[in-house]
Amino acid sequence: MGSGDAWALLTRLLEERFGLDRLPRVARTGAGKPWFPELPRLFFNLSHSGGLILCGVGRAPLGVDIERLRPRRPGLARYVLSELEFAWFQRRGGDWGSLYTLWTLKEAKVKCLGTGLRQAPRTVTVPLLLPGQEGELEGLRFRAYGGVDWRAAACTAGNEPLPEEIEWQI
């Protein structure tokens, strides 16, 4: 599964949730965030990793990220996490699942804001959440998700509820 499958999922969700019979024209902001110029009050975001696809749609700015768990270089956590986050990560045992939980929250945040990751990752602040938890920070709402071999997150700037769990459609 790749980006083509992500667009197909988006098309299906737009039909199911908003009654659209086709994918609207997509443009990108200067920072690269995709949006619908003809439907500026309808927001979406896509992510894919290792055969998994995550798509979010709604009436408020949002960002989503999904990652397959895989080992990375040993110093990565020290590089991408703030001091507070790194201490939380160590208290949790320094496992890859905890790192990926924080990473997906960071990615979801910058995607929601439309800024992309154009700053040092350790400066992107997120709430310290476990999969299944929801939190707020800096006027944004976050939810973390996770399974045996994956982590995901969603972030929104609006009042729409974040899904309590990811809906799997195979």
Statement: residue 170 has pLDDT above 60: no
Q: For the residues 133-148, what does the mean pLDDT come to?
A: 96
Residue linked to tokens 């309808």: 42
Dihedral class, residue 50 (left if φ above 0, else alpha if ψ from -120 to 50, else beta): left
Average pLDDT, the chain: 91
Give the 3-state secondary structure of the chain.
Answer: CCHHHHHHHHHHHHHHHHCCCCCCCCEECCCCCEECCCCCCCEEEEEEECCEEEEEEECCCEEEEEEECCCCCCCHHHHHCCHHHHHHHHHCCCCHHHHHHHHHHHHHHHHHHCCCCCCCHHHCCCCCCCCCCEEEECCEEEEEEEECCEEEEEEECCCCCCCCCCCCCC
Q: For the residues 156-160, what does the mean pLDDT come to?
A: 86
Q: Which domains does the chain have, with CATH numbers?
A: 3-156 (3.90.470.20)
More confident residue, 56 or 163: 56
Statement: residue 169 has pLDDT above 60: no
pLDDT of residue 153: 97
Render pLDDT for 43-99 as a digit per residue (tens, 0 to 9): 999 999 988 999 999 999 999 999 999 988 989 999 999 999 999 999 999 999 999
Q: Can you tell me the distance from the alpha carbon of 136 to that of 143, in angstroms, rounded to the nearest whole number? A: 9
